[in-house]
């Protein structure tokens, strides 16, 4: 079997005229004739990027076939049904202002259930309410001097909102960038506001609590919160990939197929089966993309652990995000998912989702440490909570320090006939994954002369 680097060299030789796809031969890598099918375009990976790519190709009447290693599409966005509860594989939210989501998803059909704008913050032995002053003026004013950060910090939030919502979205990705913590300090936010709000809030989104993620990402996310809502589909985040995959004919989606090698227009499956295509789009997670494609960097990945508990009563009433504003203990944020959408829990029970980011403690004792911390917040009722499942996700999100976003929309066309998409090509979000898939489809269509 030739090495992949040899394969890439051969691929370049095959590409006689840049920009024009030469038909792949119907021979296998070892030169023998195979029963290879020619499915048009092969998309490796059925996460949001791969599904967005395949649906865009099909809309342009180009045959696309998705090969997915898992037992269902969705990749990092999936929901498990467990004892009548809906467990997203890690706490995630959809931001209704996502521009690509608005283009490709039927948001109405997802029946999005919103969180309240703002947050509850645990600090100094009690829960404070931090309301969005523009969306919830009454709550915001009534809690003005109660919430962490003084009046000056509240005014700076308005300044940050003004900064992140001004101008075109495309311009935002070209702005000077620095680590988010430096932008927040330059804007004059107090250390109290950083510790009590920004660290747990953006820590739960970027999945790192140092706020070292690019300020472009912070401005993008803040803009999305300012222009829309955080929400989940009524029946769980998995409804998003389900909606996209339902657009594909069933024969276009093959599950439990792990592609082992990509060789120009061909892919090798376990057992040596070869598939030939006019084009191949690698839409895997970033680490797998780096192993399949020569020269593709493997970004550092941020991790998160999500614990689910069944509670007889919701510890917080209403669709609030609750943040750890004290900077100690394993818990970063808590959400009572059944308060956001009733379908997340069976009648009479509440589903509590707890996210742990950057935890230095032992994984074995995590549940006990989480319970101890939440007992401080919510009292002895926590002892009656039943642990349902823990999802430890070591490769949840590509890290996005400023260096990663120097080029905000990274190339998706590697050569004529070979493309790549995924959140690592755009920004680490549902919207970034969807946009990268659409861009890859556009590049394929251009090369195919469509």
Task: Give how far the C-alpha of residue 41 lies from the chain's centroid of Cα atoms, to the nearest Å.
Answer: 25
Per CB under 6 A, the segment of 43-51, 175-183, 186-194, 378-386 that binds ligand FAD is: 43-51
Q: Cα(first)–Cα(last) distance of the chain, in Å?
A: 35
- Nearest C-alpha neighbor of 180 from the set 151, 214, 157: 214
Query: Shortest distance, CB of residue 292 to ligand FAD, whole angstroms?
Result: 7
Tell me the longest C-alpha to C-alpha distance in the chain: 76
Which member of 193, 331, 420, 430 binds ligand FAD (CB under 6 A)? 430
Query: Shortest distance, CB of residue 321 to ligand FAD, whole angstroms?
Result: 11
Q: Which of residues 253-272 bind ligand FAD (CB under 6 A)?
A: 258-259
Which member of 70, 132, 212, 294 binds ligand FAD (CB under 6 A)? 70
The helix (run of H) or strand (run of E) holding residue 21 is none
Q: What x/- string results for residues 84 through 103 when contact with ligand FAD is judged by CB under 6 A?
A: ------x-xx----------
Dihedral of the CA atoms 335, 340, 344, 346 (nearest 10)?
A: 100
Which member of 55, 177, 243, 284 binds ligand FAD (CB under 6 A)? 284
Asked if residue 330 binds ligand FAD (CB under 6 A), the reply is no
Separation of alpha carbons 172 and 220, rounded Å: 7
Asked if residue 397 binds ligand FAD (CB under 6 A), the reply is yes
* CB within 8 Å of 154: residues ≥ 6 apart: 133, 140, 144
Asked if residue 433 binds ligand FAD (CB under 6 A), the reply is yes
Asked if residue 423 binds ligand FAD (CB under 6 A), the reply is yes
Which member of 8, 42, 65, 76 binds ligand FAD (CB under 6 A)? 76
SS3 content of the chain, % helix, strand, coil (to 5): 35, 25, 40
- Nearest C-alpha neighbor of 72 from the set 234, 207, 237: 237
- Nearest C-alpha neighbor of 307 from the set 401, 393, 231, 187: 393
Binding residues: 68-69
Say how many residues touch ligand FAD, by CB under 6 A: 34
Phi, psi angle pair for 117, to nearest 5°: -65, 135
Asked if residue 429 binds ligand FAD (CB under 6 A), the reply is yes
Asked if residue 356 binds ligand FAD (CB under 6 A), the reply is no
Per CB under 6 A, the segment of 6-14, 22-30, 44-52, 102-110 that binds ligand FAD is: 44-52
Which is closer to ligand FAD, CB of 147 or CB of 429?
Answer: 429
- Residue 21 in contact with residue 265, Cβ under 8 Å? yes
Query: Shortest distance, CB of residue 268 to ligand FAD, whole angstroms?
Result: 10
Q: CA dist 275 to 28, 90, 299, 344, Å?
A: 9, 34, 28, 40
Phi, psi angle pair for 302, to nearest 5°: -90, 145
Asked if residue 392 binds ligand FAD (CB under 6 A), the reply is no
Per CB under 6 A, the segment of 48-56, 137-145, 270-278, 342-350 that binds ligand FAD is: 48-56
- Nearest C-alpha neighbor of 155 from the set 123, 121, 193, 128: 193
Query: Shortest distance, CB of residue 218 to ligand FAD, whole angstroms?
Result: 14
Which is closer to ligand FAD, CB of 280 or CB of 374?
Answer: 280
Contact footprint for ligand FAD (CB under 6 A) = 44-50, 67-70, 75-77, 90, 92-93, 258-259, 283-285, 288, 304, 393, 396-397, 422-423, 428-431, 433
């Amino acid at each position: 079997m030739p090495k992949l680097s040899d394969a890439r060299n051969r691929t370049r030789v095959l590409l006689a005229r840049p920009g024009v796809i030469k038909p792949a031969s119907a021979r296998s890598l070892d030169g023998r004739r195979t029963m290879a099918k020619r499915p048009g375009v092969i998309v490796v990976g059925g996460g949001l990027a791969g599904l967005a790519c395949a649906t865009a190709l099909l809309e342009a009447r180009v045959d696309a076939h998705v090969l997915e290693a898992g037992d269902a599409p969705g990749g990092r966005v999936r929901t498990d049904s467990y004892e009548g509860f809906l467990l997203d594989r890690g706490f995630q939210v959809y931001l209704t202002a996502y521009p690509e989501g608005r283009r490709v998803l039927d948001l109405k059909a997802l029946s999005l259930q919103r969180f309240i704008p703002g947050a509850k913050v645990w600090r100094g032995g009690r829960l404070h309410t931090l309301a969005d002053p523009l969306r919830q003026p009454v709550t915001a004013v009534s809690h003005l001097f109660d919430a962490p950060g003084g009046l000056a910090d509240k005014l700076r939030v308005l300044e940050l909102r003004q900064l992140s919502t001004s101008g075109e979205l495309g311009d935002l990705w070209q702005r000077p960038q620095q680590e988010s913590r430096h932008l927040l300090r330059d804007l004059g936010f107090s250390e109290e506001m950083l510790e009590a709000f920004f660290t747990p809030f953006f820590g739960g989104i970027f999945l790192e609590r140092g706020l070292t993620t690019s300020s472009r990402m912070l401005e993008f996310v803040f803009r999305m919160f300012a222009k829309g809502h955080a929400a989940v589909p009524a029946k769980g985040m998995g409804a998003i990939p389900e909606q996209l995959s339902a657009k594909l004919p069933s024969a276009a989606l093959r599950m439990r197929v792990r592609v082992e090698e990509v060789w120009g227009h061909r892919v090798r499956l376990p057992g040596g089966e070869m598939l030939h295509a006019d084009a191949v789009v690698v839409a895997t997670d970033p680490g797998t993309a780096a192993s399949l494609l020569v020269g593709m960097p493997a970004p550092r990945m941020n991790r998160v652990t999500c614990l689910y508990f069944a509670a007889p009563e919701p510890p917080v009433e209403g669709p609030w995000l609750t943040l750890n504003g004290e900077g100690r203990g394993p818990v970063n944020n808590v959400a009572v998912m059944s308060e956001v959408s009733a379908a997340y829990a069976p009648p009479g029970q509440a589903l509590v989702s707890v996210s742990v980011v950057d935890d230095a403690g032992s994984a074995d004792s995590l549940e006990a440490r989480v319970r101890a911390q939440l007992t401080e917040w919510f009292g002895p009722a926590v002892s009656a909570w039943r642990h349902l499942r823990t999802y430890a996700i070591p490769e949840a999100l590509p890290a996005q320090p400023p260096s990663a976003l120097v080029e905000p929309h990274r190339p998706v066309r590697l050569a004529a006939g070979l493309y790549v998409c995924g959140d690592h090509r755009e920004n680490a979000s549902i919207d970034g994954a969807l946009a990268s898939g659409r861009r890859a489809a556009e590049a394929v269509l251009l090369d195919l002369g469509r």
